[in-house]
Amino acid sequence: MEKVPEIKIKLTDVTERLDEGYLLLSKLREEAGAPVVKARLLNKEVIAVYGKDAAKKFYDPRNFKREGAMPKLVLKTLFGEDGVQTLDGKSHEKRKTIFMDLMTPKRMEDYHRILDRTLTKRMDQEHGEFQLFDVAKDVLFRSICEWSGIDLTQMSQTEIDHLAEYQISMISSAVTNPKTHVKGIENRKKSEKWAQSLIEEARTHPVAGKEEVALYAFASATDDEGELLPIDVAAVELLNVIRPTVALTVWIALMGHALFSRPDIYQRLHAEFDQLQDSFIQEMRRYYPFFPMLPAFAVQDVEIDGYLIPKDSWVVLDLYGTNHDERTIETPEVFRISRYLGKEKHISYDEEYEMIAQGGGKFEAMHRCAGEWITLHALRVFSDQLVNKYQFTVPEQDWEIPLNQFPTFPKSKAVLVKK
């Protein structure tokens, strides 16, 4: 590697600055006047990098590994322990293949159809005022369970509401106050117990020909030695499909913000829906904050933006900052519905590093989100129904999206009145 300068900037203690939220890392870069910054976080030194070139290096397994990089408090709520996010190398590839094998074009059509039907049923029942957030949570949970082979027909609406709420709670409790965090740990335990009983049942009563259905795929999945995955790990992986799909609730509420907090985006999308739908969705994923950053350890000295990241450094890749990087994205603070027009075929393609709301790199070999196609289908179904199928009035409400909470969405949770 070429000789590169040591990072010269002073170390900033950010323990007291966490409420700066999604903007914290960009503020640190601004204060330091440098693209690479170093901070003290959770009693450890961390180097923060951002941008397309940094992402490319971050995803290269010769440079960075994930093992041990994610803080325990995130594993105990958001991800669960021993899941695919924590693996590296061959173990990761074997486990990730189980996820990617579920995402065939036929199974994506199935998901689209199930979600479209479930959302239509729910919207037809809505009369008057409702929160888009609440509708999305219920519909997304029911649909992903059906798609995954999980039968909810024997459950009461209250039980379903609780399970759906646990999925959101696992996310919102990852980085927050201690009380909410403890609640999130409890809710993960309850969810894991539910998922474990499903895996056990599927192992006791296997169904032939269901290899492409998540519940059965994880029930019969094996580890590196060819042994069935321990039940708790199989359950964590099943939840790695259910939880993030329910997390799309957040993007649906943000879609509500894009469409209904101002008139122009809705009007253009309504007028040119077929041409603009995928560009709108891609711009939504880029523009709004969701997953803020990802951690890893440098496995060798790495050069990023002219700075030396020494081997063994704890490093975070700033996802939000990369999606708003002026070096590669023109006027990143403006929501441009046509930004990705003509680039649709690049949406969700292998080796993405510029728009990395769901991570980057290659799907199979790297840690890039396994759920990008589910996400795209979900956002397509919701945008179609919200713009073309139903009509709404928009009551006065608080559309503010606080940038100091994770995940974030409009304070009002997007209230609409069905006409």
Residues binding ligand HEM (CB under 6 A): 84-85, 96, 99, 240-241, 244-245, 247-248, 251, 290-291, 294, 357-359, 367-371, 374-375
Sign of CA dihedral 159, 163, 164, 165: positive
Q: Could you tell me the CA-to-CA distances from 250 to 135, 214, 256, 257 in Å, in that order?
A: 11, 23, 10, 11
Instruction: Using the minimum distance from each CB to ligand HEM, give the nearer residue, 28 or 296.
Output: 296
Write down the least CB distance from residue 288 to ligand HEM, Å: 10
Write down the least CB distance from residue 66 to ligand HEM, Å: 7
Instruction: Using the minimum distance from each CB to ligand HEM, give the nearer residue, 122 or 362.
Output: 362
Write down the least CB distance from residue 375 to ligand HEM, Å: 5
Instruction: Using the minimum distance from each CB to ligand HEM, give the nearer residue, 202 or 248.
Output: 248
Instruction: Using the minimum distance from each CB to ligand HEM, give the nearer residue, 9 or 365.
Output: 365
Cis peptide before 407 (omega within 30 of 0): yes
DSSP states of 306-364: TEEE-TT-EEEEEHHHHHT-TTTSSSTTS--TTTTTT-GGGTT-SSB-SS-BTB-B-TT
Nearest to 199 by CA among 142, 246, 159, 149: 149
CB 73 within 8 A of CB 175: yes
For 69-101, b/e burial (b = at least 16 CB within 10 A) is bbeebebbbbbbebbbbbbbeeebeebbebbee
Instruction: Using the minimum distance from each CB to ligand HEM, give the nearer residue, 7 or 53.
Output: 53
Instruction: Using the minimum distance from each CB to ligand HEM, give the nearer residue, 119 or 241.
Output: 241
Instruction: Using the minimum distance from each CB to ligand HEM, give the nearer residue, 112 or 368.
Output: 368
**49: helix, strand or coil:** strand
Determine the length of the chain.
419
Q: Which two tokens stand for residue 69?
A: 């990089």
Nearest to 250 by CA among 109, 382, 410: 410
Write down the least CB distance from residue 417 to ligand HEM, Å: 26
Residue nearest to ligand HEM (CB): 371
Write down the least CB distance from residue 263 to ligand HEM, Å: 26
For tokens 């996820």, the residue is: 99
Instruction: Using the minimum distance from each CB to ligand HEM, give the nearer residue, 248 or 304.
Output: 248
* Ramachandran category for residue 199: left, alpha or beta (phi over 0 → left; psi -120 to 50 → alpha): alpha
Write down the least CB distance from residue 117 to ligand HEM, Å: 18
Write down the least CB distance from residue 353 to ligand HEM, Å: 11
Write down the least CB distance from residue 364 to ligand HEM, Å: 9
Q: In what order do the strands lie in the sheet with 44-49?
A: 12-13, 37-41, 44-49, 314-318, 293-298, 64-65
Q: Which helix (H) or strand (E) holds 203?
A: helix 178-204
DSSP states of 261-280: SSHHHHHHHHHTHHHHHHHH
Instruction: Using the minimum distance from each CB to ligand HEM, give the nearer residue, 261 or 322.
Output: 322
Write down the least CB distance from residue 319 to ligand HEM, Å: 6
